[in-house]
């Protein structure tokens, strides 16, 4: 940029840049405005700066990289002909994902299923037996975790929460930013239930140490830039020589092949490149105000956990390990099936709709009594609309006059006149608090919810009553005790558990090296003296 103000050394501090984010953004925006999108992405990537275009649906469909990787899949249906769908969220080397058949027509397979059922009625199965002591489903599974920052750690945590022993490979030399200590509670949230050892992978001895750990592991997970671990002999082809049945998951942003394979990106760039950022907003809002959360990190990370479980299940059945490659852009694009289908079939380039939907009215977020207080209401059937009118009708009184307006008489009419409907409904909600609106409407069977802040969620009586939030002590003093969300799914026989707070950097060196790898104290001392355990 050659910006004299930003050359000041004070801007090297991330905290300073965050505290002055508006000023920094204005300076950077003025500089970027001098480039086309393609020019800036190209120049940024030459300097290893994470950058990606904000794709529309049409732009995603014509993306040269995705098409070079043959990402999109063609499907043929008797009724709909040939059409195109997004491809897999991840690529399995031994058990590749495939679309076996198109979506079925209503009742298409009734005769086939009934005929098969009549020909061979299976014997009744015995119900499950209860052992009394539940075990975690991934007890005995060990993961060598080379993931950093967000998406990878969230993926491996899915298994750690359900019993896997996840050993996080870190280094005080280059992993400080991965923890973002003192800024965000990201590290303790993403790395609970894990162990930590410090290894400088630039050392040959450090690389050999990881290989010794891999030899005792079931899974290796990494989200380094493409090619980085290959230089150290820690890629899949190298490590399967160490452990033939290893399950190895890699998370290159754009994938390991194709014209953008050398690009670096994080979750923010994955969701912009995939079309999510463009769609996630109001029609008149600038892209900078859309999708204000790092949605891709959680979405793709959760899929990585599911894909690991799938590969481990296959290995249990066959003894066969494999490589899983998860392009973060492709995994995110996999969720855009409906707008992509609309584009490929009908030529539509879907635009952001805000809170409006073509199948519901009302459908939106409505102001309530209080400071920045809101509730959501959605009616997609005539029955729900009738219940809403009933909720607005006082006992022994009359429904508000506007509810009888011909413009709101049918669902298509309410959708067409949504602005007038929203204005009228807002006059009612603005006299009540969000929870009053939610409670009154829910009693009548109307889908409605208070818009909650994170503090509201943390103290939510319903979630607390279900034991959803638990307090966990973390070894690092700056975190201490923190409240954590547990699990959205409750398994009756193998419940997950937050057993450990996130580890301090290298706190498990002695356990992993001494007990698991049975290394002599003299060897550990030499590695420490040589800076390998830094």
Is the distance from CB of 219 to CB of 144 less than 8 angstroms?
yes
pLDDT over threshold 70, residue 451 = yes
Average pLDDT, the chain: 90
Distance, in Å, from the CA atom of 377 to the CA atom of 442, rounded to the nearest integer, reads: 10
| 288: phi then psi, degrees, rounded to nearest 5 | -65, -15
DSSP letter assigned to residue 502: P
Residue 92 CB coordination number (10 Å): 18
Q: Where in the chain are the domains?
A: 9-55, 56-96+136-354+510-534, 363-451
Least confident of 340-349, 379-388, 471-480: 471-480
β-sheet bridge partners, residue 312: none
User: What whole-number percentage of the chain has pLDDT above 90?
Assistant: 74
The residues near 203 (Cβ < 8 Å, ≥ 6 apart) are 530, 531, 532
- CA angle, 516 as apex, 169 and 500 as ends, to 5°? 60
Fold adopted by 56-96+136-354+510-534: Rossmann fold (3.40.50)
Q: What is the mean pLDDT of residues 403-430?
A: 96
Q: What is the mean pLDDT of residues 327-331?
A: 94
Q: Which two tokens stand for residue 241?
A: 């020589």
Q: What is the mean pLDDT of residues 414-441?
A: 96
Distance, in Å, from the CA atom of 228 to the CA atom of 252, rounded to the nearest integer, reads: 11
**Per-residue pLDDT, 121:** 63
**Per-residue pLDDT, 180:** 56
Q: Which two tokens stand for residue 368?
A: 């309530």
Q: How confident is the model at residue 178 (pLDDT cuts 50, 70, 90)?
A: low
pLDDT tens, position by position, 237-254: 999 999 999 999 999 999
31: left (phi over 0), alpha (psi -120 to 50) or beta: alpha
**Per-residue pLDDT, 155:** 95
**Per-residue pLDDT, 294:** 82
**Per-residue pLDDT, 132:** 47
Distances (CA, A) of 35 to 28, 54, 186, 289: 12, 14, 34, 21
Least confident of 30-44, 121-135, 404-418, 469-483: 121-135
Query: Can you give 82-147 as a three-state secondary structure string?
Result: EEEECCCCCEECCCCCCCCCCCCCCCCCHHHHHHHHHHCCCCCCCCCCCCCCCCCCCCCCEEEEEC
pLDDT tens, position by position, 496-526: 889 999 898 899 999 999 999 999 999 999 9
**Per-residue pLDDT, 77:** 85
Domain 363-451 part of CATH 3.40.1160.10: no
**Per-residue pLDDT, 128:** 45
Least confident of 117-121, 204-208, 259-263, 347-351: 117-121
Q: How confident is the model at residue 129 (pLDDT cuts 50, 70, 90)?
A: very low
pLDDT tens, position by position, 104-126: 889 989 999 998 887 766 555 44
pLDDT over threshold 90, residue 53 = yes
Is the distance from CB of 33 to CB of 25 less than 8 angstroms?
no
DSSP string, 336-365: -HHHHHHHHHH-------TT--TT-SSEEE
Residue with the bigger pLDDT between 490 and 442: it is 442
Distance, in Å, from the CA atom of 18 to the CA atom of 434, rounded to the nearest integer, reads: 32
**Per-residue pLDDT, 131:** 46
Angle at which helices 434-443 and 382-392 cross, to 10° = 120
pLDDT over threshold 70, residue 327 = yes
Q: How confident is the model at residue 488 (pLDDT cuts 50, 70, 90)?
A: confident
Residue 481, CB-side half-sphere exposure with 13 Å CA sphere = 3
Distance, in Å, from the CA atom of 406 to the CA atom of 159, rounded to the nearest integer, reads: 55
């Amino acid at each position: 940029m050659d910006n004299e103000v930003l050359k000041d050394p004070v801007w090297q501090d991330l905290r300073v840049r965050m505290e002055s984010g508006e000023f920094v953004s204005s300076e950077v925006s003025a500089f970027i405005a001098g480039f086309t999108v393609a020019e800036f992405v190209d120049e940024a990537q030459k300097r290893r700066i994470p950058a990606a275009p904000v794709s529309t649906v049409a732009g995603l469909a014509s993306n040269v990289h995705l098409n070079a990787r043959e990402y999109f899949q063609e499907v043929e249906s008797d009724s709909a002909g040939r059409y195109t769908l997004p491809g897999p969220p991840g690529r399995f080397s031994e058990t590749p994902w495939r679309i076996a058949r198109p979506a079925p027509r209503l009742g298409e397979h009734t005769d086939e299923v009934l005929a098969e059922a009549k020909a061979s009625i299976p014997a009744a199965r015995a119900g499950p037996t209860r052992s009394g002591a539940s075990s975690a489903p991934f007890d005995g599974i060990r993961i060598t975790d080379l993931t950093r920052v967000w998406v990878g750690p969230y993926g491996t945590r899915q298994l750690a929460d359900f019993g896997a022993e996840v050993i996080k490979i870190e280094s005080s030399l280059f992993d400080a930013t991965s923890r973002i200590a003192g800024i965000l509670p990201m590290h303790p949230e993403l790395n609970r239930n894990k162990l930590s050892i410090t290894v400088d992978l630039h050392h040959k001895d450090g690389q050999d140490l990881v290989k010794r750990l891999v030899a005792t592991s079931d899974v290796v997970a990494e989200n380094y830039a493409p090619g980085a671990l290959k230089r150290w002999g820690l890629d899949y082809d190298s490590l399967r020589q160490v452990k033939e049945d290893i399950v190895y998951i890699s998370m290159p942003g754009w994938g390991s092949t194709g014209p953008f394979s050398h690009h670096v990106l994080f979750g923010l760039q994955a969701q912009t490149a995939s079309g999510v950022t463009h769609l996630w907003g109001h029609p008149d809002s600038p892209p900078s105000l859309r999708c204000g959360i790092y949605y891709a990190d959680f979405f793709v990370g959760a899929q990585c956990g599911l894909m690991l479980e799938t590969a481990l299940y296959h290995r249990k059945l066959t003894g066969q390990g494999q490589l899983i490659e998860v392009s973060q852009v492709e995994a995110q694009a996999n969720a855009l099936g409906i707008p992509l289908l609309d584009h490929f079939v009908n030529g539509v380039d879907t635009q952001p709709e805000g809170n409006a939907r073509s199948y519901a009215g009302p459908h939106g977020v409505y102001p309530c009594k209080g400071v920045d207080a809101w509730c959501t209401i959605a009616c997609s059937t005539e029955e729900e609309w009738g219940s809403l009118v009933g909720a607005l009708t006082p006992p022994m009184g009359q429904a508000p006059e506007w509810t009888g307006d011909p413009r709101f008489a049918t669902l298509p009419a309410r959708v067409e006149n949504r602005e007038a409907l929203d204005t009228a409904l807002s006059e009612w909600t603005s006299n009540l608090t969000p929870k009053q609106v939610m409670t009154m409407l829910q009693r009548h069977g109307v889908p409605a919810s208070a818009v909650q802040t994170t503090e509201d969620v943390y103290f939510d009586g319903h979630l607390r009553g279900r034991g959803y939030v638990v307090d966990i002590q973390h070894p690092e003093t700056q975190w201490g005790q923190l409240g954590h969300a547990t699990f959205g799914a409750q398994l009756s026989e193998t419940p997950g558990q937050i057993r450990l707070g996130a580890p301090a950097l290298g706190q498990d060196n002695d356990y992993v090296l001494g007990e698991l790898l049975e290394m002599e104290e003299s060897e550990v001392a030499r590695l420490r003296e040589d800076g390998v355990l830094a």
